[in-house]
Structure 1
């Protein structure tokens, strides 16, 4: 459940705050409306401009400039040569538009053998082109957008019913969700003045998962469960028998041990060891202010993924949350958390592949406050952040959790020497590499 708590406008750092600050009223709303409308209008102009730049090549723009300058100069100054040059360039542009007419009859299919890879691995993709007609189709240039990059190759002419396949490799140097495609073929005139892109296949998403590592099992818990492990905490109702004691007012009569009562002459009741099962909470900060650089954030995402995967392997109840963002034109800071899917390992890593830092995201103390309110029964809470979060902020974040919850702060400091220290009821674990998480957790579990 997402909780929302309002804060003052002064604390906002979104687009509205940068425009009108903490001011409210008709004038402030009018200014914001004007800015938003201008953005929408400018977006429409940008779409039209992108269409023109996609059709007209740099050589085409040069030819348009020649047409304008030559015709103007020729008719103004009476230069016959300039007039001839201008009309000739215009004729070339008109002829070039003829090459853009029509549509190739190809049948194009884009496929990814694996749409989920770990960062650093190579992901192959395949484009298959088929000529479904009876006539031979001329070869075309094929382009496949890959994120911000572009894979391109030339397809040969195909006879009727013939198929041609090309394989390309996607390098995954950074975690994220890469859109692959849509595949497009390019029609252009021989001179290269104009080009027309024809989109064929739909776009596919390639999920580049963060790197994870195997970590020790975590079995300490708080929620009672028949599959839980016995602890030293005693209770009057459970499944693990501990001892007998004398009856005190308030004990349930069903727990009276009648044979021992008959022997001792006083009421004796059963006492049990409380069994528990781990209920893990992993809170990942997405605030840009909580990290010194991008390497720290990537390390934090990998740590969150490793903890979540380990909990699923142990069949533990786990909740993974991240900071929510405040919209650009919101009047107040929005206090809420983004819940990462924990249905299975794949869904968890898919969601973590798409997380990014933001200036308007909640910082660790606020994230811990909202996360603690929406995660009843939590036994272990992992708070993951970067090196810019100080001890005071970590203590404030841990203070939002009730007594009995084991709070562990994992501070990601790229390249730092790993350390483990105890601050009152809070364990602060500093890791410089992902492998340090495995060693530090094993050390803490042993302690």
Structure 2
């Protein structure tokens, strides 16, 4: 049995349609590439030609069109004059100049008010002297400018300058760019030399006493720096003192030293500390109150991180359907927390403090000590309402911030309310509370 080989014949019309479709696809791709190249050319030209340059180009074009069309020699002369001026302005931008402009920021984090400097170095390895170029450097919201002097071959321009740190936040430094422009301002060519560097300005914090309140003694908890005579986290050996439990005498070490030696342990505790920073703009009289509140909350959070406590730092979220009333900041390290606090701002769209406390109680189990940090416009009834949203047994301390105000401490229906005018007031009051406890 043999199989017959068949041959399929493509109709001529179908073949023409296929060729036409391929040609159209090719033309569309070519048009796309041309449009992209034209857009890039327009972007580059637009970044070089100023509005004065465009006015010159349009004026020359109109002068040529009208002059040659009507035979006006005067307009033709004006057109050629404008064209020559445009060509000379373009020639003014030729050359690249320095082969390197380096921007260095020695530190990436400072505390608000601390001095911070950056360094700018422009080098000229060319064969001839180079200078007269304007150097621009954005620093925060302002732009610093220098006119580079004549730099000889192998020379450099070295300049250090101060970075503003008067306010908490992130200061962006850079990019560094050299600017060439003709005397008439028709053309302007910028060359970017460096990336943007960021300086994080942390809120001011103060060292406070260890937060001993709100701890729950638990053998399954984490070891602390407090030493005790009985626990499971071994710390060291020390000499026996009257009153020590003889069950913890280490007999091998005692035999070697000839003195009774007893085991010393690190006390294990388990608890979650929560710091809630109120971002509601209506809770603060002015910006100074809010900055003091940020510093107070940051001080408590930094101390809890240092003590290796389980800490949750909560700020107000946005109200509305589908949005959470709270937002948790990272607390894996002190720097990560302070980095996040650099960009925290009060807002009129923040959830009220009671809703924030309710959301935190639902999402964060095991809280034993809570700090509610806010301003003086948040009254005691609002603070009590927020404290009532927390689970029973949670020790709650409300901190009201009033810059340069009098330090106060009171207890209202089981809620401790501290009023501070300075960060030092917070340290003194917490130390007093720890001594009483």
**Distance (whole Å) between structure 1 residues aligned to residue 109 and residue 90 of structure 2:** 42
2:424 — aligned with what?
A: 435
**Distance (whole Å) between structure 1 residues aligned to residue 223 and residue 305 of structure 2:** 15
**Distance (whole Å) between structure 2 residues aligned to residue 51 and residue 147 of structure 1:** 26
> What pairs up with 1:346-357 in 2 under 5 angstroms?
346-357=335-346
Are 2:98 and 2:122, in contact at CA under 8 Å, matched by a contact in 1? no
2:11 — aligned with what?
A: none
Secondary structure of residue in 2 paired with 1:197: strand
1:324 aligns with 2:317: yes
Instruction: Point out where structure 1 has 5 or more consecutive residues left out of the alignment.
Output: 1-48, 232-237, 241-273
Are 1:117 and 1:207, in contact at CA under 8 Å, matched by a contact in 2? yes
**Distance (whole Å) between structure 1 residues aligned to residue 346 and residue 46 of structure 2:** 32
1:408 — aligned with what?
A: 397
Match of 1:128 among 121, 126, 148: 121
1:192 aligns with 2:181: no
2:144 — aligned with what?
A: 151
Secondary structure of residue in 2 paired with 1:404: coil
TM-score by length of 1: 0.69
**Distance (whole Å) between structure 1 residues aligned to residue 283 and residue 79 of structure 2:** 60
Match of 1:219 among 199, 212, 218: 212
Secondary structure of residue in 2 paired with 1:381: strand
**Distance (whole Å) between structure 1 residues aligned to residue 96 and residue 318 of structure 2:** 44
Are 1:221 and 1:276, in contact at CA under 8 Å, matched by a contact in 2? no
Are 1:220 and 1:276, in contact at CA under 8 Å, matched by a contact in 2? no
**Distance (whole Å) between structure 2 residues aligned to residue 120 and residue 67 of structure 1:** 55
**Distance (whole Å) between structure 2 residues aligned to residue 389 and residue 152 of structure 1:** 46
**Distance (whole Å) between structure 1 residues aligned to residue 374 and residue 380 of structure 2:** 12
Instruction: Give the 3 Å change call, closer, same or farther, for CA 95–113 of structure 1 in structure 2.
Output: same
Are 1:290 and 1:389, in contact at CA under 8 Å, matched by a contact in 2? yes
Displacement of 1:55 in angstroms is 5.0
2:5 — aligned with what?
A: none
Secondary structure of residue in 1 paired with 2:180: strand
Instruction: Give the 3 Å change call, closer, same or farther, for CA 148–226 of structure 1 in structure 2.
Output: closer
Displacement of 1:311 in angstroms is 1.5
**Distance (whole Å) between structure 1 residues aligned to residue 349 and residue 322 of structure 2:** 9
Determine which structure has greater relative contact order: mean sequence separation of CA pairs < 8 Å that are 6+ residues apart, divided by chain length. 1
**Distance (whole Å) between structure 2 residues aligned to residue 150 and residue 431 of structure 1:** 38
Displacement of 1:410 in angstroms is 1.0
**Distance (whole Å) between structure 1 residues aligned to residue 56 and residue 385 of structure 2:** 66
Match of 1:97 among 77, 90, 95: 90
1:364 — aligned with what?
A: 353
Instruction: Give the 3 Å change call, closer, same or farther, for CA 131–152 of structure 1 in structure 2.
Output: same
**Distance (whole Å) between structure 1 residues aligned to residue 186 and residue 59 of structure 2:** 13
Name which of structure 1's ranges 142-151 and 278-287 shifts more when overlaid on structure 2.
Answer: 278-287
> What pairs up with 1:101-180 in 2 under 5 angstroms?
101=94, 103-104=96-97, 106-134=99-127, 136-180=129-173
**Distance (whole Å) between structure 1 residues aligned to residue 176 and residue 134 of structure 2:** 11
Displacement of 1:411 in angstroms is 1.4
Displacement of 1:163 in angstroms is 3.3
Displacement of 1:212 in angstroms is 0.9
Match of 2:385 among 377, 392, 396: 396
Are 1:178 and 1:206, in contact at CA under 8 Å, matched by a contact in 2? yes
1:238-295 Cα offsets, whole Å, 9 max, x none, are 879xxxxxxxxxxxxxxxxxxxxxxxxxxxxxxxxx9744531111122222222111
Match of 1:298 among 269, 276, 291: 291
Secondary structure of residue in 2 paired with 1:394: helix
Are 1:292 and 1:386, in contact at CA under 8 Å, matched by a contact in 2? yes
Number of aligned residue pairs? 358
TM-score by length of 2: 0.70
